[in-house]
A and B are shown apart, each in its own frame.
Chain A
Amino acid sequence: MIDTDEAAKISVRGLSAWYRDNQVLRAIDMDISQHGVTAIIGPSGCGKSTFIRCINRLHEMVPGARMDGRIAVDGQDVHGAATDPVLLRRRIGMVFQKPNPFPTMSIRDNVLAGLRLTGDRPSPARANEIVERALRQAALWDEVRGRLDTRGSGLSGGQQQRLCIARALAVEPEIVLMDEPCSALDPVATAKIEDLLHELRERYTLVIVTHNMQQAARVSQQTAFFLAGELIEYADTDDIFTAPVDKRTEDYITGKFG
């Protein structure tokens, strides 16, 4: 806590990460503020997904993966001896690239999965309340309210992804990490999710990884540009897209590579 920014929700210092001998992140320093949406952009393989997977310690589940450095959430060391990764992950929701509702569960059970998986057995009344609240927050309630007991995998791709968002929100996290949540979706479904991000940013710390620069410009207040495992530039989104400081950032956002 000596050199981290106390005001930041997530504070990263000297973060490096490897898959076996392959270093994918190099000494990242970054502070993510509590409010608003932080976008992480960069070409494929630049380490942006690994970066958010380090925050909820999912990275360490991959065989051969390791990391070094310090990540603090609300000043608490994510890797500290006193930190239980399971409890940590309850504060940090995650939405994956491919919509992945649990195939054996209904829509309702998918929303409640986070609670039930962790041994919480809400009363029927409270369960209904949680399901409705989470689905409303994910802007899915009106589309599925009549078929909560049908299978989640029967929904369209965009609906499935909003169901996954509802599932993440149902456990009332403080932070929601999104790993290219729209890359498997059509433009209409993408627009719905982007609208949703505007609603959610009031209540949650949102970090979204995207390879779509227009999306980053539309939804985020802060943008970080990653290249080959390094954080090249991190600033207000408006500044990054109108007046990038680094030549490489400019080349990337103007489409010269990537």
Chain B
Amino acid sequence: MRRLSPSSFGLNERDTTPEKLWLERRRFIQQSALGGLALASGITMPQQVFAKDKPLNPYVGIDFKKLGAGESLTPFKDVTTYNNFYEFGTGKGDPAKHAHALTTNPWTIKVDGACAKPATVDLSKLAAKKDWQERIYRLRCVEGWSMVIPWLGVPLGPVLQRFEPLQKARFVEFQTLFRPKEMLGQTSGVLDWPYVEGLRLDEAMNPLSFLALGLYGKTLPNQNGAPLRLVVPWKYGFKSIKSIVRITFHEKMPTTSWVKATPQEYGFYSNVNPNVPHRRWSQKRERRIGEFRKRETLLFNGYGDYVADLYRGMDLQKHF
């Protein structure tokens, strides 16, 4: 049997993959918006009202300003003095104490693996300052605390697409800088350095996935992952890898640092989920920094409307 490949239509891989992902995303957003509307008005509407083959921008359907509405921001001082960044020590105050040693200029990012246009690019080329936008996201740490942070940066999906991931690429891996001379913690054996994190490509293309270069209107302080970090707000904080120097597209799921260190405690997905306890503690509740009493933790950190579709049909107890 002859298999149809994208090239049979006179297209190369870069013409297809991103758009397919975009369309899937768009369809989901349409459906969820429509679902809400139908529920509210008590009527059902045919799905076909939306043109199916028209390329649509998945970023149009979301009002990002609304995502942070009703949340009070965690004070700048707390956001920048209470960090987990083991490259600078395992204490919460260590990063703020030691991260000043890190040189973030010049900074280049190597993009390679299963993509049509691998390249090593300068940070300013990857995300020019004029394109930065603000996103207010909740951050839920796997340890049971949370914050609300106004990030500055660019959506991840369009950045990745510039390197034209091949159709066979299903995962994207991120790597933190390895420079023990400046990153004290890397001389210890707490983790296997450099730190590695990853996403499924469709997760990475989700409109919520974000590359942050700043917070509170300023460029990122070193202890928060300068000069470039990932922000995936529906996953536990450790997925949002800091000080990124390499991005690699893969066919197979990469082995991320915490999965490598303690596979029985940490999974690749690590979606915020109150129903799946950590092996050593419950994830039902969290302490919002600055608040006295604990809050209930929300499934997908409250971003289910935007991301739940990514995991349809998956057993979240198994794929934790």
A, B assembled together: no
Interface, chain A (partner B; CB < 8 A)? none
